[in-house]
Amino acid sequence: MNDLDTLVQSAAEAFAAALTPADLENAKARFLGKSGSLTDLLKGMAALSPDDKKTRGAAINQAKQQVEAALTSRRQALADDELAQQLRAESLDVSLPGRRRGEGGLHPVSLTLERMEAIFGSMGFAVADGPEIETDWFNFTALNTPADHPARSMHDTFYVEGGHLLRTHTSPMQVRYAVQHVKRHADALARGERIPEIRVIAPGRTYRVDSDATHSPMFHQCEGLWIGEAVNFTDLKAVFADFFRNFFETDELDIRFRPSFFPFTEPSAEVDIAFASGPLKGRWLEVGGSGQVHPNVVRHFGLDPEKYIGFAFGLGPDRLTMLRYGVNDLRLFYEGDLRFLSQFQ
């Protein structure tokens, strides 16, 4: 192998060893640059005779072409590699399954409220909605609880600016709804005619300064009101029996009225239920308050208490949700932990 063959071979090896375009350009300079090996050889020809110059010159040129060919081919190979790498990095795998968006769902207490609306709806109850920021009048006074009444201390109230408060129960909706109902039938009432019964539930948020495993500062209630000319406690009991059996999907359930006090009902009763089977078997659990609407409240509806009578109740949907799903701490519903909440979907 002559010196030119050796040079071509070492150039080819140097180019092959270059792994980046920059390495390759450095290697090129070593052979083809101004002071590269080939250029040195060309310079060295000055001392040769014209004949030798011819043959040597042709040989060097051939070697130079070979080196250039090796360089071009390595350049192409590096460019191909780079393109392939880029394609690999940017490639889109159309066979990958798409990323799904997280699916939302209703909060367990919302599920309970929907269920209550459906069951009471099937019993002919309308559904009404009202303000959470209330006046003192609707929350207390109209409900037979005047300013100095000791029963006000039963509710630890959040007061807001402007003399308003966050409603402590859904009972103000009794008055709001009944007043509208009476207005709608004012002409018939004035003529002494019988007006349609009031049969309504009003579910929604309520607030009290209260927090432990069974009390939350924001909780829910579902008010019920049924007023007519002959609505009595037997009807209330039938409504509750129907509701609880449907809600808990069991006939093995007892209902108990425990005498109690609310200023807006007389007589009044707490409502307890007990399951005949399951983990809560035999324990009485309070689920709400109820009673015959007090004559003073019926007067605030705009009706004659001698003629119109009925009952009201206030159920605790949070507690019903706890019982339905066997959850023993109410606060879990309001901590916003999706690991807990997604179990109810």
Decide: is 242 part of the binding site for ligand FA5 (CB under 6 A).
no
Which of 171, 177, 240, 243 touches ligand FA5 (CB under 6 A)?
171
Decide: is 263 part of the binding site for ligand FA5 (CB under 6 A).
no
Residue 180: Cβ within 10 Å count: 14
In the complex, what is the shortest distance from the CB of residue 155 to ligand FA5, in angstroms, rounded to a whole number? 7
C-alpha triplet 179, 243, 333: angle, nearest 5°? 90
Decide: is 237 part of the binding site for ligand FA5 (CB under 6 A).
no
Name residues whose C-beta falls within 8 Å of residue 296's C-beta, 6 or more positions apart in sequence: 144, 305
Q: Given the complex with ligand FA5, which of 36 and 288 has the nearer CB atom?
A: 288
- Do strands 198-207 and 126-127 pair parallel, antiparallel, or not at all (unpaired)? parallel
Residue whose tokens read 């859904």: 170
Q: Given the complex with ligand FA5, which of 31 and 265 has the nearer CB atom?
A: 265
Residue whose tokens read 């040989």: 59
In the complex, what is the shortest distance from the CB of residue 126 to ligand FA5, in angstroms, rounded to a whole number? 17
Decide: is 286 part of the binding site for ligand FA5 (CB under 6 A).
yes
Q: Given the complex with ligand FA5, which of 16 and 261 has the nearer CB atom?
A: 261
Decide: is 292 part of the binding site for ligand FA5 (CB under 6 A).
no
Decide: is 266 part of the binding site for ligand FA5 (CB under 6 A).
no
Name residues whose C-beta falls within 8 Å of residue 128's C-beta, 6 or more positions apart in sequence: 173, 176, 177, 200, 201, 202
Give the residue nearest to ligand FA5 (CB): 316
Q: How far apart are CA 156 and CA 164, in angstroms?
A: 14
Q: Given the complex with ligand FA5, which of 31 and 262 has the nearer CB atom?
A: 262
In the complex, what is the shortest distance from the CB of residue 141 to ligand FA5, in angstroms, rounded to a whole number? 14
DSSP assignment, residue 251? S
Strand ranges of the sheet holding 218-228, from the earlier edge strand across to the other edge: 126-127, 198-207, 218-228, 309-315, 285-293, 265-275, 253-262
Decide: is 312 part of the binding site for ligand FA5 (CB under 6 A).
yes
**Which residues sit at the interface with ligand FA5, rule CB under 6 A?**
169, 171, 208, 210, 215-216, 219, 221, 262, 265, 268, 286-291, 312-314, 316, 318-319, 330
